[in-house]
Amino acid sequence: MAYSRREFLEWSGVMGAAAFAAPLYVSAAEASRREPVKYEKGLEQPAFLLLPLGAVRPTGWLRRQLEVQAQGLSGHLDETWPDVGPESGWLGGKGESWERGPYFLDGLLPMAYLLEDRRLKEKSQRFIEWTLKSRRPDGLFGPTSKQEDWWPRMVMLKALTQYQEVSGDPRVVPLMEAYFAYQRKNMPGNPLSSWARSRWQDNVLSVYWLYNRNGEAKLLELAKMLHDQGYDWKAMYTNFSYTRKVTREDFDREKHSKEENHPSHGVNNAMALKAVPLWSLQSKSAEDRNFLVKQWETLDRYHGLANGMFSADEHFAGTNPSQGIELCAVVEAMFSLEQAMAISGQSALGDRLEKIAYNALPGTLSDDMWSHQYDQQPNQIECGFHSKPWSTNGTESNLFGLEPNFGCCTANFHQGWPKLASSLVMASQDKGLAVMVYAPCVVSTVVRGVPVEMEVATDYPFRGGVEMRVSSAAPLMFPLHMRVPSGESPVFMVNGEKISPVEHEGFVPIEREWRRGDVLTMKMEMKPRVVEGALGTVSVMRGPLVFSLPIREQWTKIRDRGLTADWQVFGESAWNYGLVQAAELTVRERPIGVVPFAKANPAVTLKASGVRLAHWHESDGTADAPPEDAGKNVGSSEVVELVPYASTKLRVTSFPSATEQKA
């Protein structure tokens, strides 16, 4: 059956998405910079190749989200927070000289280039110029006040590699060559310790990046040294002993040294999600390559939360939905998933990435992105000064503000959206392209030697339709691999004609001769579903979106903080509902607002059936553990409206299962 373009657009819900406006074809020099870099022979080939920064650019709602970010704290942080301001050690000043400057640049730089924003490019260039000029004859670079610590340079290297991809600046590769020679020489005498020991894989990432550009075998020796000196994450997850909440008392009682605190630390674990798959490139072990799916199973079992993350506030904290997860861990888990998904090609990692990106990331930032939390909770009924049930974090951890609890997230959260945008589409090993995560974007790269442009128009995750226009300089045969989100059986059409490609390991390959103006459409059903969680709870999802019961919010300013402010948020409506699992879920789609996840106008809502549970209490602004049924969660039902998790800052997400009282 053939559909007109307009019929398809109406049917799939793409109407209202950004109109096709891609400028087709770029210069040959520009195209070559957008070609994926192939792996050298000393490494195992990954399943997919990430495209260089700038090859995939956000459009539609995702571009608006990045614009909101640029207009918020991310675009102004250096103007209001001294740690990344003019006195930063990474600008030659006497201020903060450790991880905060590099963290900020690691998100500011891709945001600036993806938005083609001159003001932000100038800001990021100041850090780049100082860093490139800081290189010493022995190869070390960066502020000398922390020269014995390997960690902050691991972050700066990630920013420098992105900068080289997008600019082609010839100063980057020589700096990295000199620095890695310095590491080879000095690491035996000054081995990895503390944060650097736990985060060695972030250094290996940049070592491999350089190896694939210069083929220098000594770099693989350095990578092995980093691996061997680094913490053994594979061993930890093979015999996982952190099966319950870690408490302050655990540390005191067991007299842990600081070094021994690292393995249960949330951000370390989020960064380490990529450690074993990344090392598989060198170990060439299939077990290593596919390790992350197993690693997530362990995290889900003992610390899983309904927003896709594991709990860690700031150490592993169990499955109670009133436990929290730190914003740094959210963006680092996303980055790890982007890297690991390219290596292993496992479709399930795409599901996880979408779940975290479309729920946990926007759910812990204010709509205007001027304030954020340190810890967010799936069941978050108040954000106040009360002492919370955190494992070790302080009382301010779930306030919204400039730097609640500690400033690491303030410096680090900026990478979340830009790096997601850059990873939506990758190159496949059979010389084609692959859509890994669904969001609106335009891709320009080189396939089989020919410049290709591809536009992905979609309002996913709010709608189930995707429309793609593929264009090349000449008709070109290549496969396009479409990831199939878990639970979906999409319908595909090319130029209005239905096709029936066969799914293979979570991807559908569509191989044909693509001609300019060809349109591929994909339609997913996006049926709402109830998902079982820990402690007898249930949560509701539709596609990758998790839904929550919103609690009416009263925002109370605590104090001004330069260009922004710190806030408490108090609840003003009932929250203690159980969910009638058997009841129907009714979907209502609404227009997507300028701020895609805004509280004021959620783009999709669900009507569900709830039962008020008088025996589910709170203490000091925290919901008690959800009462398990045992025949008690019974009552007369009410219609409740659920909205996307991220459209709420006070919410209940993990519901006790409840039963409607028979009249």
Between residues 220 and 328, which has the closer beta carbon with respect to Zn ion? 328
298 phi/psi in degrees, rounded to 5: -65, -45
Between residues 70 and 408, which has the closer beta carbon with respect to Zn ion? 408
- CB of residue 198 to Zn ion, shortest distance in Å: 14
- CB of residue 361 to Zn ion, shortest distance in Å: 13
When binding is defined by CB under 5 A, the residue of 328, 466, 508, 650 that contacts Zn ion is 328
- CB of residue 411 to Zn ion, shortest distance in Å: 8
Binding-site string for Zn ion from residue 439 to residue 478, where x marks contact by CB under 5 A and - marks none: ----------------------------------------
Number of H helices, E strands in the chain: 23, 28
- CB of residue 659 to Zn ion, shortest distance in Å: 41
Segment near Zn ion (CB under 5 A); pick from 59-67, 405-413, 531-539, 636-644: 405-413
Between residues 103 and 209, which has the closer beta carbon with respect to Zn ion? 103
Segment near Zn ion (CB under 5 A); pick from 86-94, 184-192, 327-335, 440-448: 327-335
Beta-strand relationship, 465-472 and 450-458: antiparallel
When binding is defined by CB under 5 A, the residue of 172, 312, 356, 409 that contacts Zn ion is 409
- CB of residue 314 to Zn ion, shortest distance in Å: 8
For 60, 146, 567, 598, the CA distances from 594, given in Å and listed in that order, are 10, 43, 23, 8
- Which helix (H) or strand (E) is 538 found in, with range? strand 537-542
The size of the interface with Zn ion (CB under 5 A), counted in residues, is: 4
Between residues 204 and 408, which has the closer beta carbon with respect to Zn ion? 408
Segment near Zn ion (CB under 5 A); pick from 115-123, 212-220, 400-408, 654-662: 400-408
Segment near Zn ion (CB under 5 A); pick from 118-126, 130-138, 320-328, 441-449: 320-328
Q: Rule CB under 5 A: say whether 361 interacts with Zn ion.
A: no
What DSSP letter does each residue of 239-253 carry, written as one string?
T----S---HHHHHH
Neighbours of 651 (CB within 10 A): 29
When binding is defined by CB under 5 A, the residue of 353, 408, 441, 442 that contacts Zn ion is 408
Q: What share of the chain is helix, strand, coil (3-state, %, to 5)?
A: 35, 25, 40
Segment near Zn ion (CB under 5 A); pick from 8-16, 86-94, 308-316, 318-326: 318-326
Q: What 3-state class would DSSP assign to 364?
A: coil
What DSSP letter does each residue of 161-184 carry, written as one string?
HHHHHHH--TTHHHHHHHHHHHHH
- CB of residue 412 to Zn ion, shortest distance in Å: 6
Per the omega criterion (within 30 degrees of 0), is the bond before 297 cis? no
Neighbouring residues of 559: CB distance < 8 A, sequence distance ≥ 6 = 565, 566
Segment near Zn ion (CB under 5 A); pick from 105-113, 310-318, 323-331, 593-601: 323-331
Q: Where are the alpha helices (DSSP H) in 81-231?
A: 100-114, 118-133, 151-167, 172-186, 194-198, 200-214, 218-229
- Asked if residues 538 and 532 have their Cβ atoms less than 8 Å apart, the reply is yes
Segment near Zn ion (CB under 5 A); pick from 96-104, 151-159, 407-415, 458-466: 407-415
Q: Let me know the angle formed at the C-alpha of 312 by 50 and 353, rounded to the nearest 5 degrees.
A: 25
Q: Let me know the angle formed at the C-alpha of 280 by 277 and 285, rounded to the nearest 5 degrees.
A: 120
Between residues 408 and 434, which has the closer beta carbon with respect to Zn ion? 408
Interface residues with Zn ion (CB under 5 A)? 326, 328, 408-409
